[in-house]
Structure 1
Amino acid sequence: MAGNSQRRGAVSKGKKGPTAGSGGKNRRSLEGKGPTPKASERPYHPAAKAAKKAAHRAATTNARPGGRPPVRRRASGETEWIAGRNSIVEALRAELPITGIYVASRIETDDRVKEILAAAGNRGIPLLEASRQDLDRFTENAVHQGVAATVPPYAYKHPMDLLDTAADSGRPALVVALDGVTDPRNLGAVVRSVAAFGGNGVVVPERRAAGMTASAWKTSAGAAARVPVARATNLVRAIEEYQKAGLFVVGLDADGDVDLPDLRLADGPLVVVVGAEGAGLSRLVRETCDQVVSIPMAAAVESLNAGVAAGIALYEVARHR
């Protein structure tokens, strides 16, 4: 009879004694653990890891001014990217050595895009089609407006190579050294001034200083193709090497010993050292200079950026010569 615990085999006899049926013992295991959680809620699932990275990226972006994503610093010798229609038009007009132009598919053309395409055809610059996602990745999320261009890494000279350039010119050497200038637009402006006043080149430190980026190329308005830029591992040592070669070193500083119009060293071979706006010359560089001069200004509290200060100093040197 069903349910008769007296029949043979109805009672299990184990080590803990006889038991009749489950008696609810396994009811909890039969109920299960509830609904399966979503993939994004499982800590070790790829979807959960991707969601965690996205949340971290969003938090980092919101923490930056204007909600911009963090900018990765480019390694030395890495190809430079120019993004945006106006920037590329200006770069083409300044005759930057552009190696390729990437255009988004189905881009809306305007006068700037037409000029870019025409200039690329005339100069034999390769035109490549790219998706907007690729352009975002190439330019590190810059506002590219559907077009971007590549510029090769700059080939720096050795500081002493600038003396060979001076010897070929037949005029006394004139070199500008930048101490702690970190804005590439200032570097480009200095290169332009050096070209305008017959200088032989610019020296920048290898670390904590602006390099010849696409922005510096553009600011130089094509002068970077004619004026060499050298990179020094140690700026003080490079200045000392120039002194051994017979050059006088003049530093620009607000607390100079001599006013720039009274400079008497301009006729000979010269190195003009320009410091950063506000900070001025570093202590070691100032101590190495043969003379420190200042630019007279109407207000003592005013300061000039490196590009303007270098332009004034080079004009004064050219006037003396």
Structure 2
Amino acid sequence: MVEIINKLKNPLVQEARELSSSNNRVLKNKLQLRGVEQLLWAKQAKLKINHIFITQNENPEDYKGFLVPIYQVSDGILKKITETNYLIPCVGIADGYSNKDVSDDFVLLLDNVKDRGNIGTIIRTGKAYGINNFVATNKEFDPYVPKTIDASRGAAFKVNVRRYEKPNDAVSYLKEKGYQIIATSPRGKSLQSTLHLEKKPVALVVGNETSGVSEEVLQEADHIIQIPMYTSIESLNVGVATGISIYELRLKEVLTMLAEKIISSLGREVNVTSQLIRRAINVKLKEVSEFTGDQIIFLMVLKRESQMNEEQIEKQFGYFGDELEAFMKRLYEQNLVKKENEEIEITKDGEELLAKLWPVQEKVEDLILQDFTQEDKQALKTYLEKIKQNCINVTEYKA
């Protein structure tokens, strides 16, 4: 349903007009999305888009994919909303992401960075290196300026920004969180390439385009470093300098904290959890059966799939060659499965065994999830499904 608004004093229009100001965007934590490209970036970032204004010449059907209310207004009203002399045919209003607590192992501290294009470039560069949290030393810092959004190519919608009134407040917050503060300056006493990082998360300071990192931050920094240059050029564009520093410090951080990163990596956590679940199932099954948890789970999968070949079993269960033969041998001997034309099927005896042992499987699951509420269990299932689907997307992606 499309509604026509023809009055400038309409409350939705008035709210949208207010968001053309940085102060109001920061105060309300809301923003304008100018043009289809910004709308698509926001949708991809899962930003909450509240509604969209379009001109009377636009086709409302083109915007139905956003699943939000669409309002058609005159060209004059849209120009008033954006405070521009030129017409932007569509403008969305969305909620922002900002001022949440930071916890990542690498953050950027933007110390009075002013240029809107530079800010967008810094955010885009940081996001490309896995940085999701940005701390600003001025309370008016606004990542949702249209020029910043465009320069970041929508990355501004995917990061958290925390603002402080004074540089010292921002540094104190990061130090309380355990970050080592690293600032770049032509006066740095050591080269960036020779810096020895501590086993602590990193806060890299990005300074003002003209004056660099403020004296207040330099006095509180744990390390002041400089980027070596071969020519007589005294300084680099802040966006370029940020990319160089992030790359080198990220590498140093990984090397310094490699052991900890390995321990906390997703692959290792999932693998350890999987092994522990298998062990728990095996312990309980051995009390009542001669079969392993993997064999019972295989029968469960086979019951659902009806047929599987050895290649599929190898991919799903990780048994190859002699291991696969040993895994299947007992199942064949007990007539739990049969093989016809290279396809393996569960037998009637297999189904009966599965039915008998199923209560054990459920009991183990209850023990593993004993402190989980029903909502927790559903959330866990949802997260696992998302992980599986994302893994499928990665393995099936072709450039």
Which of the five TM-score ranges fits, normalised by the shorter chain? 0.5 to 0.7
Q: Is structure 2 residue 251 aligned with structure 1 residue 319? A: yes
Contact 2:111/2:213 (<8 A) preserved: yes
Equivalent-residue separation in structure 1 for 2:106 and 2:89 (angstroms): 43
User: 2:220 pairs with 276, 288, 296, which one?
Assistant: 288
2:206 is matched with: 274
Equivalent-residue separation in structure 2 for 1:254 and 1:123 (angstroms): 48
1:139 is matched with: 82
2:334 is matched with: none
User: 1:99 pairs with 50, 73, 92, which one?
Assistant: 50
Relative to structure 1, is the Cα distance of residues 137 and 187 closer, same or farther in structure 2, using a 3 angstrom cutoff? same
SS at match of 1:292: strand
Report how far residue 82 of structure 1 moved: 3.7
Q: Is structure 2 residue 92 aligned with structure 1 residue 149? A: yes
Contact 1:90/1:218 (<8 A) preserved: no
SS at match of 1:128: strand
Equivalent-residue separation in structure 1 for 2:21 and 2:174 (angstroms): 35
Contact 2:111/2:206 (<8 A) preserved: yes
Question: 279-288 or 225-234, which moves further after superposition?
Answer: 225-234
Report how far residue 283 of structure 1 moved: 1.2
Equivalent-residue separation in structure 2 for 1:308 and 1:266 (angstroms): 25
Contact 1:257/1:294 (<8 A) preserved: yes
Contact 2:115/2:209 (<8 A) preserved: no
1:81 is matched with: 32
Report how far residue 235 of structure 1 moved: 2.4
Report how far residue 238 of structure 1 moved: 2.6
1:125 is matched with: 68
Report how far residue 319 of structure 1 moved: 1.7
Report how far residue 87 of structure 1 moved: 5.4
1:183 is matched with: 115
Report how far residue 142 of structure 1 moved: 4.3
Report how far residue 148 of structure 1 moved: 2.4
Q: Is structure 2 residue 167 aligned with structure 1 residue 216? A: no
Equivalent-residue separation in structure 1 for 2:83 and 2:138 (angstroms): 24
Contact 1:187/1:210 (<8 A) preserved: no
Contact 1:91/1:218 (<8 A) preserved: no
Equivalent-residue separation in structure 2 for 1:146 and 1:318 (angstroms): 41
Equivalent-residue separation in structure 1 for 2:136 and 2:241 (angstroms): 16
- TM-score, reference length from structure 2: 0.51
Relative to structure 1, is the Cα distance of residues 281 and 147 closer, same or farther in structure 2, using a 3 angstrom cutoff? same
Report how far residue 176 of structure 1 moved: 1.0
Relative to structure 1, is the Cα distance of residues 299 and 149 closer, same or farther in structure 2, using a 3 angstrom cutoff? farther
Give CA-to-partner distance per residue, 1:204-255, whole Å, 9 cap, x none: 1234644444443444334445432211232212313433443221101232
Aligned residues: 232
Structure 2 unaligned runs (5+)?
Answer: 1-19, 255-399
Equivalent-residue separation in structure 1 for 2:54 and 2:140 (angstroms): 34
Equivalent-residue separation in structure 1 for 2:130 and 2:38 (angstroms): 28
Report how far residue 194 of structure 1 moved: 2.9
Report how far residue 94 of structure 1 moved: 6.6
Equivalent-residue separation in structure 2 for 1:80 and 1:284 (angstroms): 31
SS at match of 1:155: coil
Equivalent-residue separation in structure 2 for 1:123 and 1:82 (angstroms): 13
Relative to structure 1, is the Cα distance of residues 183 and 151 closer, same or farther in structure 2, using a 3 angstrom cutoff? farther
1:9 is matched with: none
Q: Which amino acid aligns with 2:27?
A: G
Report how far residue 193 of structure 1 moved: 2.8
Relative to structure 1, is the Cα distance of residues 225 and 84 closer, same or farther in structure 2, using a 3 angstrom cutoff? closer
Q: Which amino acid aligns with 2:93?
A: T
Q: Which amino acid aligns with 2:32?
A: W
Q: Which amino acid aligns with 2:229?
A: M
1:202 is matched with: 134
Q: Is structure 2 residue 261 aligned with structure 1 residue 261? A: no
- TM-score, reference length from structure 1: 0.62
Q: Which amino acid aligns with 1:263?
A: L
SS at match of 1:77: helix
Report how far residue 260 of structure 1 moved: 1.4
1:298 is matched with: 230
Higher helix share: 2
Give CA-to-partner distance per residue, 1:171-203, whole Å, 9 cap, x none: xx2111010112333333333333332335110
Q: Which amino acid aligns with 1:205?
A: T
Structure 1 runs of 4+ aligned residues shifted over 6 Å read: none
Q: Which amino acid aligns with 1:229?
A: V
Task: Give the aligned CA root-mean-square deviation in angstroms.
Answer: 3.0
SS at match of 1:236: helix
